[in-house]
């Protein structure tokens, strides 16, 4: 029988229309890119029984199971049910009524994160944990938003190419009486960060306007004169993207905000999209909406009702930059 | 004399002491460790039992109580100088046997090295009473048994943590008086650890063979050690310091003379005016420290090694250099 399917529904169900007619691929969400091995057994089984025996690791840290017959979607949804139950319902705490009906949405992409505090010594937060908390806030949702969490300003996950890059920060706290003036922190800050530390008269001064909160000084100090403020802070960079029109690096929006500000801004962003999205288009990425409304409208909307912590700082203006992706810019 | 006391009774005792004593013990500073989510354990002033971290080894030793990281020796103006006010209260320190032994090593350096006693060390030192924390299991890098520092008799009171009641061995009239009529009299003497996971053999020699100073074993440390100074800042027996005059920025004729920890494992330690420095290579720094800890000190004082095997240097080294293994290498080569 000729295939006659509603591809809108298929796509929302996290299956793709692929280059081979009749075949689809299932996108599996792995928030934070960190999963228990038991799920791999399920994915392997689906790939062996329904796909072509391969798994593709996506750039967003999920898996795609390619080579699936479009007609078998209901059966596969049954099989992926335990993954949705374990990861989305039990771990992330999301309310999904029918896990055996497959993924309820695919617009908001998997929350990617660097390996973070569970492994990386440079991390300023547990990125996997934060990825799960964000997943709970934003999923399921059909709006097209890409979010990544990274443990420190090294930005290994490349949050700067996402609509939202959430960067873990450390506020270094200095104990004058413990400092021996060895210069390890100031030399290192100059070498790897911003030169925010000056050694003078055997003591350190930190220029708060230069400090990016990477936490390197805490790692270097041999006497624990630098310790981390146990309160966790974040920087949010926004509206970075690749894509065909105007690729660009994300720009700083907020810095030194706490977790609840991050969560509130993300939640409000979905209302902003709902209000300003061009409904005549099949989909519109949030970055292009911000291009239309302008930064101040976005800023005022997503910060409305958000209680900024006292340390928080906000970008007054953003120069978006990026480049226009057109051939006439090149000469022969 | 042995006693068994309850948590409430112990806390009452700490309260009584607090009137005339500052009480120091290992304390856990939650989420203040180097990496996110980790804790820092170091000595600090405590007022009740729940502040005392008795289960884990402190990252830094107790030496900072007696030999502060920074100490103002005096303030000066053009015509006069004055000493900073000193704390008159006594000092009670909760310490493991290795660290109590470590303090007696520091005593040799500060009080019995040459004719002059170090006035700044002696002042607080004279006020110290030790509460020994029984230590029978040890930790990953400890080698106190090899250094003969797993035991100590030099305590005023010993305590066994971990049970319902606190078991005390009281040696000192002062604590006998404080605990008069408190708790239940029992038989108790503390146990000591008999075996560490790490064993170290010291060289049995009268003189270090000169060849050891140029031995190729030190070259490897030049490629590994990053001269970060953690092994020496965390060490109970490293006691070096520098003295600097810090002038007031607005009026350079006023200021203070300050004494600050220094270390052979930090860049610039041996630098002199003109930029000349000894031991430029980090392997040479390692050689200096090692031979100082296991040989030079003993030659000077004849009281065994300086190192007490607390293992903090190995706990702290970010590049996994093991000092205990280094001693064993020296022993195998001499
Ligand atoms: S971004 Fe920072 S925390 Fe994350 S992996 Fe890279 S260095 Fe580690
Ligand atoms: S947090 Fe980073 S930028 Fe700030 S002072 Fe420390 S090393 Fe420098
Ligand atoms: S690394 Fe620590 S001790 Fe050294 S200068 Fe910096 S704050 Fe002071
Ligand atoms: S050298 Fe290492 S093991 Fe020996 S006393 Fe110092 S820190 Fe402890
Ligand atoms: S802690 Fe390790 S790397 Fe640092 S100075 Fe000591 S031996 Fe060298």
**In which domain, by residue range, is A61 found?**
7-101
Please write the tens of the pLDDT for every residue from A148-181: 999 999 999 999 999 999 999 999 999 999 999 9
Please tell me whether residues A221 and A243 are part of one structural domain.
Answer: no
Domain assignment of residue A323, yes or no:
no
**DSSP state string for A163-226:** SEEEEEE--EEE-GGG-----HHHHHHHHHS---EEEETTEEEE-TTT-----HHHHH-TTS-E
- What is the mean predicted confidence (pLDDT) over B97-124? 96
**Which one of A58, A79, A101 terminates a domain?**
A101
Please tell me whether residues A163 and A243 are part of one structural domain.
Answer: yes
Report the 3 state secondary structure along chain B. Answer: CEEEECHHHHHHHHHHHHCCEEEEEEEEECCCCCCCCCCEEEEEECCCHHHCCCCCCCCCCCHHHHCCCEEEEEEECCCCEECCCCCCCEEEEEECHHHHHHHHHHHHHHHCCCCCCCHHHHHHHCCEEEEEECECCCCCCCCHHHHCCCCCCCCCEEEECCCCCEEEEECCHHHHHHCCCCCEEECCCCCECCCCCCCCCCCCCCCCCHHHHHCCHHHHHHHHCCCCCHHHHCCCCCCCEEEEEEECCCCCCCEEEEEEECCCCCCCCCCCCCCCCCCCCHHHHHHHHHHHHHHHHHHHHCCCCCCCCCCHHHHHCCCCCCHHHHHHHHHHHC
Residue B260: which of A181, A199, A227, A184 has the closest Cα?
A181
Domain assignment of residue A329, yes or no:
no
d(CA A233, CA A240): 21
Please write the tens of the pLDDT for every residue from B137-183: 999 999 999 999 999 999 999 999 999 999 999 999 999 999 999 99
Domain assignment of residue A196, yes or no:
yes
Please tell me whether residues A17 and A81 are part of one structural domain.
Answer: yes
d(CA A123, CA A118): 8
Q: Which two tokens stand for residue A105?
A: 């949405």
Element (H, E) at A313: strand A313-314
pLDDT at B311: 98
Q: Which two tokens stand for residue B94?
A: 């909760």
Longest dimension (CA), chain B: 66
pLDDT at B268: 67
**What CATH number does residue A203 fall under?**
3.30.70.20
Q: What dihedral do alpha carbons A204, A210, A216, A220 form, nearest 10°? A: -20
Positive or negative, the CA dihedral A24, A29, A33, A35 is negative
Residue with CA nearest ligand 2 atom 4: A211
Per mean pLDDT, which range of A108-122, B118-132, B295-309 is the poorest? B295-309
The residue among B207 and B22 whose pLDDT is bigger is B22
d(CA B128, CA B134): 18
Q: Determine contact: B228 vs chain A, CB below 8 A.
A: yes
d(CA B190, CA B192): 7
Q: Are A5 and A74 spatial neighbours (Cβ–Cβ below 8 Å)?
A: no
CA distances to A7, A51, A62, A63, A113 from A72, in Å: 14, 10, 21, 18, 32
Please tell me whether residues A287 and A257 are part of one structural domain.
Answer: yes
Domain assignment of residue A106, yes or no:
no
Strand partners, B21: B90
d(CA B209, CA A78): 76
Parallel, antiparallel or unpaired: strands B90-95 and B21-29: parallel
**What CATH number does residue A297 fall under?**
3.30.413.10
Q: Which two tokens stand for residue A292?
A: 């239309």
Residue with CA nearest ligand 4 atom 6: B235
Please tell me whether residues A236 and A158 are part of one structural domain.
Answer: yes
pLDDT at B269: 59
Please tell me whether residues A153 and A276 are part of one structural domain.
Answer: yes
d(CA A80, CA B251): 74
Q: What SS3 state is found at A149?
A: strand
Q: How many helices (H) and strands (E) does chain A have?
A: 9, 13
Instruction: Kindly give the number of the ligand 5 atom that is closest to the alpha carbon of B224.
Output: 3
Residue B64 has pLDDT above 60, yes or no: yes
Question: Any idea how long chain A is?
Answer: 332
Domain assignment of residue A53, yes or no:
yes
Q: Determine contact: A201 vs chain B, CB below 8 A.
A: yes
Q: What SS3 state is found at A58?
A: coil
pLDDT at A288: 96
pLDDT at A2: 87
- Within 8 A of A224 by CB-CB distance, chain B residues are 32, 34, 40, 42, 59-60
Parallel, antiparallel or unpaired: strands A197-200 and A233-238: unpaired
Contact between A227 and B40 using a beta-carbon 8 Å cutoff: yes
Please tell me whether residues A96 and A189 are part of one structural domain.
Answer: no
Domain assignment of residue A27, yes or no:
yes
d(CA B167, CA B3): 6
Phi, psi of B237 (to 5 degrees): -100, -5
To test the contact with chain A by mutation, choose from B36, B233, B267 the residue with the greatest count of A C-beta atoms within 10 A, namely B36
Domain assignment of residue A12, yes or no:
yes
Q: Which two tokens stand for residue B255?
A: 């200021």
Q: Determine contact: B34 vs chain A, CB below 8 A.
A: yes
B323-333 and B217-224 helices, crossing angle to 10°: 160
**Which one of A55, A78, A101 terminates a domain?**
A101
Nearest CB to B244: which of A126, A202, A227? A202
**Chain A, window 134-153: residues with a beta carbon less than 8 angstroms from a chain B beta carbon:** 151
Residue B273 has pLDDT above 80, yes or no: no
Write down the mean pLDDT value for chain B.
94
CA count, 13 A, side-chain hemisphere, A94: 24
Q: Based on the structure, what is the number of domains in chain A?
A: 3
Strand partners, A166: A149, A236
Please tell me whether residues A267 and A150 are part of one structural domain.
Answer: yes
Interface contacts A/B by beta carbons within 8 Å? 80
Chain B, nearest residue to A231 by Cα: B31
- Within 8 A of B31 by CB-CB distance, chain A residues are 228, 230
Query: What is the side-by-side strand order in the sheet with B21-29?
Result: B40-45, B21-29, B90-95, B128-133, B157-160, B166-170, B2-5, B184-186
Contact between B32 and A170 using a beta-carbon 8 Å cutoff: no
Contact between B228 and A222 using a beta-carbon 8 Å cutoff: yes
Residues with CB under 6 A from ligand 3: A 179-185, 204, 220-221, 223, 225-226
Please tell me whether residues A192 and A151 are part of one structural domain.
Answer: no
At B299, the pLDDT band (50, 70, 90 cuts) reads confident
Locate the DSSP E strands across A12-122. Answer: 23-28, 56-57, 63-69, 112-113
Please write the tens of the pLDDT for every residue from B75-104: 999 999 999 988 889 999 999 999 999 999
Please tell me whether residues A163 and A196 are part of one structural domain.
Answer: no
| Pocket perturbation via mutation, ligand 5, pick of B34, B228, B324 by most ligand atoms within 8 A of CB | B228
| pLDDT tens, N- to C-terminus, chain A (332 residues) | 788 999 999 999 999 999 999 999 999 999 999 999 999 999 999 999 999 999 999 999 999 999 999 999 999 999 999 999 999 999 999 999 999 999 999 999 999 999 999 999 999 999 999 999 999 999 999 999 999 999 999 999 999 999 999 999 999 999 999 999 999 999 999 999 999 999 999 999 999 999 999 999 999 999 999 999 999 999 999 999 999 999 999 999 999 999 999 999 999 999 999 999 999 988 899 999 999 999 999 999 999 999 999 999 999 999 998 988 877 777 77
Please tell me whether residues A51 and A151 are part of one structural domain.
Answer: no
Q: Determine contact: A121 vs chain B, CB below 8 A.
A: yes
Nearest CB to B260: which of A202, A220, A228? A202
Q: Are A69 and A22 spatial neighbours (Cβ–Cβ below 8 Å)?
A: yes
Ligand 5 centroid – CA B315 distance (Å): 11
Contact between B36 and A177 using a beta-carbon 8 Å cutoff: no
Residue B22 has pLDDT above 60, yes or no: yes
Percent of chain B with pLDDT over 70: 96
Q: Determine contact: A130 vs chain B, CB below 8 A.
A: no
**Which one of A54, A74, A101 terminates a domain?**
A101
Q: Determine contact: A296 vs chain B, CB below 8 A.
A: no
Residue A56: which of A42, A71, A67 has the closest Cα?
A67
Please tell me whether residues A308 and A270 are part of one structural domain.
Answer: yes
At B274, the pLDDT band (50, 70, 90 cuts) reads low
Ligand 1 centroid – CA A151 distance (Å): 5
Please give the angle made by the CA atoms of A75, A81 and A86, to the nearest 5 degrees: 160
Contact between B40 and A151 using a beta-carbon 8 Å cutoff: no
d(CA A330, CA B272): 60
Domain assignment of residue A326, yes or no:
no
């Amino acid at each position: 029988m000729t295939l006659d399917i509603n591809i809108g529904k298929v796509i929302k169900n996290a299956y793709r229309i692929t280059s081979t007619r009749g075949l689809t691929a299932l996108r599996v969400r792995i928030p934070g890119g960190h999963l228990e091995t038991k799920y791999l057994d399920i994915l392997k089984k689906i790939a062996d029984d329904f796909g072509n025996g391969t798994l593709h690791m996506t750039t967003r840290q999920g898996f795609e199971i390619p080579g699936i017959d479009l007609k078998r979607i209901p059966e596969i949804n049954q099989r992926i049910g335990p993954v949705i139950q374990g990861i989305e319902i039990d771990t992330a705490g999301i309310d999904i009524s029918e896990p055996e009906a497959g993924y309820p949405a695919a617009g908001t992409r998997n929350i990617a994160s660097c390996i973070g505090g569970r492994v990386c010594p440079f991390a300023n937060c547990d990125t996997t944990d934060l990825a799960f908390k964000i997943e709970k806030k934003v999923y399921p949702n059909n709006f097209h938003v890409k979010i990544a969490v990274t443990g420190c300003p090294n930005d290994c996950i490349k949050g700067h190419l996402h609509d939202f890059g959430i960067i873990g920060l450390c506020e270094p706290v200095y104990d004058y009486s413990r400092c021996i003036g060895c210069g390890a922190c100031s030399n290192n800050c100059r070498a790897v960060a911003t030169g925010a530390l000056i050694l003078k008269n055997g003591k350190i001064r930190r220029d708060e306007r230069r400090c990016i909160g990477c936490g390197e000084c805490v790692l270097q100090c041999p006497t624990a004169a630098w310790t981390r403020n146990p309160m966790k802070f974040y920087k949010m960079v926004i509206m970075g993207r690749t894509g065909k029109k105007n690729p660009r690096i994300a720009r700083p929006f907020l810095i030194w905000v706490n977790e609840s500000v991050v969560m509130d801004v993300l939640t409000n962003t979905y209302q902003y999209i709902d209000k300003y999205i061009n409904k005549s288009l099949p989909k519109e990425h949030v970055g292009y909406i911000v291009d239309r409304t302008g930064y101040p409208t976005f800023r005022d909307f997503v910060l409305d009702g958000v209680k900024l912590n006292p340390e928080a700082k906000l970008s007054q203006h953003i120069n978006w930059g990026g480049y226009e992706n057109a051939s006439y810019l090149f000469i022969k | 004399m042995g006693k068994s006391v309850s948590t409430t009774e112990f806390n009452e005792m700490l309260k009584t002491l607090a009137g005339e004593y500052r009480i120091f013990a290992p304390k856990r500073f939650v989420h203040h460790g180097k990496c996110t989510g980790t804790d820092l354990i170091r000595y600090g002033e405590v007022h009740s039992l729940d502040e005392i971290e008795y289960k884990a080894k402190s990252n830094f030793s107790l030496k900072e109580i007696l030999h502060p990281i920074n100490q103002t020796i005096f303030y000066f103006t053009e015509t006069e100088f004055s000493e900073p006010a000193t704390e008159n209260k006594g000092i009670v320190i909760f310490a493991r046997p290795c660290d109590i032994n470590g303090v007696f090593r520091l005593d040799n350096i500060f009080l019995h090295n040459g004719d002059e006693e170090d006035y700044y060390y002696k002042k607080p030192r004279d006020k110290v009473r030790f509460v020994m924390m029984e230590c029978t299991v040890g930790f990953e890098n400890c080698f106190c048994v090899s250094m003969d520092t797993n035991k100590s008799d030099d305590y005023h009171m010993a305590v066994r943590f971990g049970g319902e009641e606190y078991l005390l061995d009281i040696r000192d009239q002062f604590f006998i008086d404080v605990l008069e009529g408190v708790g239940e009299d029992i038989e108790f003497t503390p146990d000591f650890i008999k075996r560490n996971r790490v064993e170290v053999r010291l060289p049995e020699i009268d003189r270090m063979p000169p060849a050891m100073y140029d031995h190729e074993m030190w070259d490897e440390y030049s490629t590994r050690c990053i001269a970060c100074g953690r092994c020496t800042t965390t060490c109970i027996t490293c006691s070096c310091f520098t003295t600097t005059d810090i002038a007031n920025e607005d009026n350079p004729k006023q200021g203070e003379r300050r004494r600050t920890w220094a270390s052979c494992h930090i860049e610039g330690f041996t630098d002199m005016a003109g930029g000349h420095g000894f031991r430029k290579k980090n392997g040479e720094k390692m050689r200096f420290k090692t031979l100082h800890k296991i040989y030079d000190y003993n030659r000077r004082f004849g009281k065994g090694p300086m190192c007490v095997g607390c293992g903090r240097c190995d706990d702290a080294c970010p590049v996994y250099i093991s000092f205990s293994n280094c001693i064993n290498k020296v022993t195998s080569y001499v």
